[in-house]
């Protein structure tokens, strides 16, 4: 999907982005934004408008309908292109690179950030595009046929909320909790530093006890800020020479959450189960949870 955006992105001009923005704004009021509204916003003559819309549709950035009137919606890739364009304009990134991770609810890419004041080397950064609530193209087609538009586009709001939630909590926790530095946020995407080291799941540790202690200590520091990660596992923990970093925060909860105790216990359990399975280290979940709470 993003590959399509990357390919298409360099062929988009300011007029295309203005058009996409017009449709995006119109979608606050319309399920299908009438072509007249898009025209009012962009002030393009119909000929230009239709020419550009045709290309945007061909590239899957926009979808259109003629029934019951001529209207347009932004498609997933169009939304990605708008977020990317914002990051480029702000100077947060200058280029997007390869996909480095794809989960059920996100697509993660490498990107390049130019040095500040043009001093030094460009640095790699990470863009995470949220995908919550997103349905497949075939599903979208089916939904269109059944006229259940609202549900179809709820993904924009779900993904946007989730990206903001993740960015905000990372802003709050960084740098006291060891996480990649959050850099910028727009729409359903955010930019952060590259996590240090490699995924716990894919690393053979020489000193697992030491790393397990580091992980428990980070859970404890997070807890001291009133926060529980709530999706901790070997797939959301990076390990490097000097410690660990936690990623993937959108499902975090606060301590007043009704399931706070259960979710803390589950996080600890997941980590301990992994260390037992892979390294034969045995620690008791309840003891570790009690230890984390006792230090507050």
Ligand X SMILES: Nc1ncnc2c1ncn2[C@@H]1O[C@H](COP(=O)(O)OP(=O)(O)O)[C@@H](O)[C@H]1O
The stretch near ligand X (CB under 6 A) out of 55-63, 96-104, 208-216, 259-267 is 96-104
The interface with Mg ion within residues 223-252 (CB under 5 A) comprises: 236, 248
Count of residues near ligand X by CB under 6 A: 17
Active site residue 261: no
Q: From the CB of 204, what's the least distance to ligand X, in Å? A: 17
Could you give the CA distance from residue 94 to residue 196 in angstroms, rounded to a whole number?
Answer: 22
Closest CB 233 distance from Mg ion, rounded Å = 8
- Kindly provide the residue ranges of all beta strands, DSSP E only, lying in the chain, ordered along the sequence: 33-34, 62-65, 71-74, 95-102, 106-113, 123-130, 182-186, 189-193, 198-199, 227-228, 237-240, 243-246, 253-254
Single out the residue of 112, 115, 110 nearest to residue 99, CA to CA. 110
What tokens does 247 get? 């990623």
Report d(CA 202, CA 236) in Å as an integer: 11
Determine which residue in the list 97, 101, 197, 243 makes contact with ligand X, applying CB under 6 A: 101
Tell me the CA end-to-end span of the chain in Å, nearest whole number: 45
Q: For residue 156, what is the enclosing H or E element?
A: helix 149-173
239 bridge partner residues: 198, 244
The residue among 62 and 111 lying less far from ligand X, judged by its C-beta, is: 111
User: Does 267 help bind Mg ion (rule: CB under 5 A)?
Assistant: no
Least distance between ligand X and beta carbon 26 (Å) = 30
Q: Judged by CB, which is closer to ligand X: 74, or 163?
A: 163
Does residue number 222 form part of the binding site for ligand X (CB under 6 A)?
no
Q: Which of residues 119-158 bind Mg ion (CB under 5 A)?
A: none
Binding site for ligand X (CB under 6 A): 100-101, 103, 105-106, 108, 126, 128, 180, 192, 194-195, 199, 235-236, 247-248
Binding site for Mg ion (CB under 5 A): 236, 248
Q: Which residues form the catalytic set? A: 231
């Amino acid at each position: 999907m993003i590959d399509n955006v990357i390919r298409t992105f360099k062929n988009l001009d300011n007029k295309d982005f203005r058009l996409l923005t017009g449709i995006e704004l119109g979608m606050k009021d319309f399920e299908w934004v009438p072509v007249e509204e898009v025209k009012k916003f962009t002030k393009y003559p119909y000929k230009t408008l239709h020419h550009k819309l045709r290309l945007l549709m061909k590239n899957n950035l926009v979808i259109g309908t003629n029934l019951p009137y001529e209207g347009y919606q932004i498609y997933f890739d169009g939304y990605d292109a708008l977020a990317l364009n914002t990051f480029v304009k702000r100077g947060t990134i200058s280029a997007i690179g390869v996909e480095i991770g794809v989960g059920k609810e996100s697509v993660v890419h490498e990107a390049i950030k130019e040095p500040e004041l043009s001093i030094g080397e460009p640095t790699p950064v990470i863009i995470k595009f949220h995908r919550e609530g997103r349905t497949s193209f075939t599903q979208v087609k089916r939904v269109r046929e059944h006229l259940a538009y609202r549900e179809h586009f709820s993904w924009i709001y779900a993904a946007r909320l989730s990206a903001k939630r993740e960015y905000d909590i990372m802003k709050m926790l960084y740098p006291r909790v060891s996480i990649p530095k959050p850099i910028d946020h727009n729409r359903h995407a955010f930019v952060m530093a590259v996590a240090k080291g490699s995924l716990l799941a894919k690393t053979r540790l020489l000193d697992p006890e030491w790393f397990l202690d580091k992980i428990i200590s980070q859970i404890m520091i997070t807890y001291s800020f009133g926060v529980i990660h709530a999706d901790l596992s070997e797939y959301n923990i990076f390990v490097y020479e000097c410690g660990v970093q936690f990623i993937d925060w959108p499902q975090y909860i606060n301590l007043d959450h009704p399931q706070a105790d259960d979710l803390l216990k589950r996080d600890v359990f997941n980590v301990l189960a992994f260390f037992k399975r892979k390294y034969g280290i045995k620690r008791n979940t309840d003891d570790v949870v009690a230890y984390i709470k006792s230090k507050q």
